[in-house]
Amino acid sequence: MAPTLITEQDVRRVQRRTVMLLGMAQVFGGIGTGATVSIGSILAVELSGSSAWAGAVATLMTLGAALAALPLAALADRRGRRISQVTGLSAAFAGAVLMVLAVVTGLFFLLVLGAAGIGVGSAASLQARFAAVDLADPEHRGRALSTVVWAVTVGAVAGPNLIQPGTLVGAALGLPPVAGPFVISGAGLLVATVLLFVGLRPDPLLMARELATQAESAALGLPRQGGLPGAPEQGPGTPTGGSLARGMRAIGASRPALLAVAAVVGAHAVMVGVMSMTPLHLQHLVEGPGAAHAGHTASGDVLVIIGFTISLHIAGMFALAPVMGWLTDEAGRTETIMIGFTLLITAVLVAGFGQGSTTAVAVGLVLLGMGWSAATVSGSTLLAESVGQESRVVVQGVSDMLMGAAGAVGGAVSGLVLSWTGYLGLNMLGGIVGAVVLAAAFLTLMARRRESAAA
């Protein structure tokens, strides 16, 4: 029996279904990250007994994401997006369980293990944006990618504000109040995992490869090889293996890919570095410099201020993602990267020089999120089309690994920078990083325009 040809209608139908399912999973899965970011630094100080560990949770989250990025991409390369996504979200669910156990037992090492598990889920969440463009047409790649990024908004913004209702859940279950938000996070992650495990069929990446095989066979006048969509045999679009070295070679061979990676890595480093220390700065600002010390529990008012500020920041990261996707498709990939880093630089100036005002810090954090969104959406879109299909998934994994590593370094260094130079110095360092990438994007744009004029 001859295999069924994949039609344009099939592709559109699967693409719509894929974006919808990924979006729904992002809504539920985003709750875990939001809750962990908002109270992680405070819990780390309380359980470790030292303010030196304030950045441990953010660091382990980003380190977990960095270490998981390439293995998850390699898994997607071999088995498809569905298996990769489910694996990452399952690790995040286990991380939420460990966070609850850490609060119950008071064991610091469980807290950092849980943060690392949630970081693996963050890596899967990041790679979901690439799954959204596997079957997207070139004119709408930015919008498809940004739709999935935008879907994180509901869960991620809700996460920090689950602190108060989470205490009721914790009390109802006989747990310490602060464990409640992580119970809700775990439930959301479990729903996201089940959604993708059951619904993401056919797999968009495997179907895209089958489509490439079909197109090449037609171009050569050969009978189509393969089977059902989503379960292709080895063919022109199927990689023969992946590695860090192969991904780095593919990135190094493409100037647009280099800029794309610099954009997503630089934006993430600045965002994580500033954002991870903002809760501690706000606690100092509201309760005084001596408030955040070993054994001190932040007041309810401070937790509300922190939760609200981080919610605004995460809204800036995700709520306007469709606008950033539209800009990416209409204004251009490089141009939108420049917009993103202009916003990032403005953000650190506002938050740094306005460090004495909770309002100024909140405004700075919103702008910080918006800059991250513009740089990440445009950079990710540029990356997805800057390398060949045989290297694309591995390159995406390498990019996310470097992105996570930069965030881990930013989270680790930010605590030291905060203690040495204060919140203003931390923001100024972020501004320097942003200025370097902005200059690189500008030079790339000028070079491209000169080449176009010469042609």
DSSP 36-61: HHHHHHHHHHHHHS-GGGTTHHHHHH
Token pair belonging to 78? 């071999």
Phi-psi region of 292 (alpha: psi -120 to 50; beta: other; left: phi over 0): beta
Task: Evaluate whether residue 221 is within a structural domain.
Answer: no
CA distance 348 to 305: 19
Task: Evaluate whether residue 144 is within a structural domain.
Answer: yes
CA distance 206 to 134: 9
Task: Evaluate whether residue 291 is within a structural domain.
Answer: yes
Give the position of tokens 């509201």: 286
Task: Evaluate whether residue 222 is within a structural domain.
Answer: no
Q: Which residues contact 317 (CB under 8 A, 6 or more apart)?
A: 152, 156, 271, 369, 370, 372, 373
Note if the bond before 202 is cis, omega within 30 degrees.
Answer: yes
Task: Evaluate whether residue 153 is within a structural domain.
Answer: yes
Whether 336 contacts 377, CB under 8 Å: yes
* Structural domains counted in the chain: 1
Task: Evaluate whether residue 70 is within a structural domain.
Answer: yes
Q: Give the pLDDT confidence of 24-68 residue by residue, as tens digits.
A: 998 888 776 666 666 777 778 788 887 778 778 877 887 888 889
User: How do the pLDDT tens digits run along the chain, 455 residues long?
Assistant: 445 678 888 899 999 999 999 999 988 887 766 666 667 777 787 888 877 787 788 778 878 888 899 999 999 999 999 999 999 999 999 999 999 999 899 999 999 999 999 989 989 988 999 999 999 988 889 999 999 988 877 766 666 667 777 778 888 888 887 788 888 888 889 999 999 999 999 999 999 988 888 877 776 666 555 444 444 443 434 444 447 888 999 999 999 999 999 999 999 999 989 998 998 888 888 876 554 444 444 556 777 788 788 888 988 888 889 999 999 999 999 999 999 999 999 999 999 999 999 999 999 999 999 999 999 999 999 998 998 888 899 999 999 999 888 887 887 789 889 989 999 999 999 999 999 999 999 999 999 889 888 87
Q: Which domain holds residue 289?
A: 8-215+237-454
Measured CA distances, 217 to 138, 159, 204, 213 (Å)? 22, 48, 20, 6
Whether 131 contacts 141, CB under 8 Å: no
CATH number for the domain spanning 436: value is 1.20.1250.20
Task: Evaluate whether residue 302 is within a structural domain.
Answer: yes
Q: How many CB atoms lie within 10 A of CB 455?
A: 5
Task: Evaluate whether residue 310 is within a structural domain.
Answer: yes
Tell me the pTM. Answer: 0.79
